[in-house]
A and B are shown apart, each in its own frame.
Chain A
Amino acid sequence: MPKIKPPVSTPRIDMTPMVDLFSLLLIFFVLTASFRPQEAAMIDSPASISEKQAPDFNLMTIFIDKEGKVFFNVDNGADSTTKFRQQILQKMAERYEMTFTPEEYDLFGRLSGFGLPLKDMKKWIHAENSEKREEFQVGMPFDSADNQLGYWILYSRIVNPRAEVAIKGDGDASYMVVKEIMDMLQDNKVNKFNLITNFVTEEVGLADLPPEK
């Protein structure tokens, strides 16, 4: 009697549905991605119930970290061909009598937030990587002796008059630093601030009203 051989089959899984699924997920993520901008410092902002979203463009952001160091960021506007950042740096360079090469302008246009005196800007632009760049971030001077932050704000507003001001402060930052910056902004005729906060829900209804006395 011949031996009965079990049919030999190679165990295999059809990967096609998995690929389909992954493709869909990938497309979803690619389309919804708005890249998390690199932040100049670790900032843990306080929470509020505000549901208003920060504008995507035309925003200058002032970061205040725990120790009161100040960083500044401004975007290129909705249309990246406008190159607002380069124009702002140009004006700053004129003010402080510095010269930057076209490559440096171009590089600066693509970088993000910074917090350093303008004299270190060249080194910051040419830093090899983001870690090296971090070392130069010592905070933007904004006292009355050398109010560079004030000039950054002034020129940002000249170059892009539609720019709004957002303040992203660490919860533990001293209010005095924030107040100083707000006062300076008000001197620059900025009276509307967007305070960036984390969203929390807080349900307070009529039932929470304390009993009437």
Chain B
Amino acid sequence: MSQIQTQDPGGKKGSKKKRAKKHSSEIDMTPMVDLMCLLITFFMLTTAFAKPKVMVITMPEKDKNQEVKDQPKISAERTLNILLSGDDEVFYYKGQAAPKKPMPVVAKSDFSKDGVRKLLLNWNRDLFTKITEYREKRLTGEIIVADTTFENTIKQMKMDDKKGPIVLIKADTNARYKDIVNIIDEMAICNIASYAIVDIGQVEVMMIESTKAGTPLTEYPVIKVK
């Protein structure tokens, strides 16, 4: 306690004079401090400071009546297929795997800085440079635009882009949730204009397996229909 009680040193033994006890006019604040400490601790521990962040993805509407021919056509030379199969591994191939055509080469990569990001940045060089320069200009105050204008300009840049890759993300049954989040995040980092999560095909599963085994497919495999 803050006040240490000391005996009155002036009291002589045997003194019979009785004096009214001196009451200190101050209040001992210590219990109040104790209480406040406890309350603060409680609030600190129960407060969620950082609100969760979210990554928004919008999927195309599923329409069961939609015919195959209505699906958007994309050029094969701009297509980058990313195959995910867990273990933090990323497989990718360019173009399209189709019968009677040479099989695309499947390469293996990862989520590190020199992994798949390098490939994406290199391919998306023009758009990435454009957006990053625009962003930096705004950061340094060279141009002053409102948030919505800023976002819309970037959106427009992405729409106008004709050179960057169209990324198709495909995950097989071994893929983990974090793989998908990581790769979508990678798209955001590299400012990829168009990407989509699509179902994996049987051939692609075989392509992953064969690449893992070290014997890449050289021909379009014959798919047995059970």
Question: B residues near A, CB below 8 A?
Answer: 2-6, 9, 28-30, 32-33, 36-37, 39-40, 43-44, 46-62, 84, 113, 117-118, 121-122, 125, 128-129, 132-133, 136, 171, 173, 175-182, 184-185, 188-190
Partner of A175, one of B56, B60, B176: B176
Instruction: Please tell me if the beta carbons of B132 and A205 are within 8 angstroms of each other in the complex.
Output: yes
CB distance from A177 to the nearest CB of B (A): 8
Q: Which of A179-194 contact B (CB under 8 A)?
A: 179, 182-183, 186-187, 189, 191-194
CB distance from B32 to the nearest CB of A (A): 6
Chain B residues near A169: list those with CB within 8 A: 177
Tell me whether A70 is interfacial, beta carbon within 8 Å. no
Tell me whether A11 is interfacial, beta carbon within 8 Å. yes
Given contacts A19-B29, A33-B43, A33-B47, contact A182 B59 (CB under 8 A): yes
Instruction: Please tell me if the beta carbons of A18 and B33 are within 8 angstroms of each other in the complex.
Output: yes
For the complex, count residues of A whose C-beta is within 8 A of B: 70
Docked Cα-Cα span, A15 to B27, in Å, equals 10
Instruction: Please tell me if the beta carbons of A54 and B33 are within 8 angstroms of each other in the complex.
Output: no
Docked Cα-Cα span, A64 to B107, in Å, equals 31
Tell me whether A101 is interfacial, beta carbon within 8 Å. no
Q: Which residue of B lies closest to A32 (CB)?
A: B47
Partner of A209, one of B33, B57, B121: B121
Given contacts A26-B43, A193-B59, A196-B54, contact A171 B176 (CB under 8 A): yes
24 interchain pairs, CB-CB under 8 A? A10-B6, A12-B3, A19-B29, A19-B32, A26-B40, A46-B178, A47-B185, A48-B182, A52-B53, A54-B53, A54-B54, A172-B177, A173-B177, A174-B177, A175-B84, A175-B176, A177-B177, A178-B180, A186-B61, A191-B58, A194-B54, A196-B53, A210-B118, A210-B121
Q: Which residue of A lies closest to B172 (CB)?
A: A175
Docked Cα-Cα span, A13 to B1, in Å, equals 9
Instruction: Please tell me if the beta carbons of B58 and A192 are within 8 angstroms of each other in the complex.
Output: yes
Instruction: Please tell me if the beta carbons of B46 and A35 are within 8 angstroms of each other in the complex.
Output: yes
Docked Cα-Cα span, A179 to B175, in Å, equals 11
Tell me whether A140 is interfacial, beta carbon within 8 Å. no
10 closest A-B pairs by CB:
A15-B29, A171-B178, A29-B43, A22-B36, A194-B54, A36-B48, A46-B178, A175-B175, A50-B55, A46-B181
Given contacts A29-B47, A48-B188, A171-B177, contact A193 B57 (CB under 8 A): yes
Instruction: Please tell me if the beta carbons of B181 and A197 are within 8 angstroms of each other in the complex.
Output: yes
Docked Cα-Cα span, A48 to B132, in Å, equals 19
Instruction: Please tell me if the beta carbons of A48 and B53 are within 8 angstroms of each other in the complex.
Output: yes
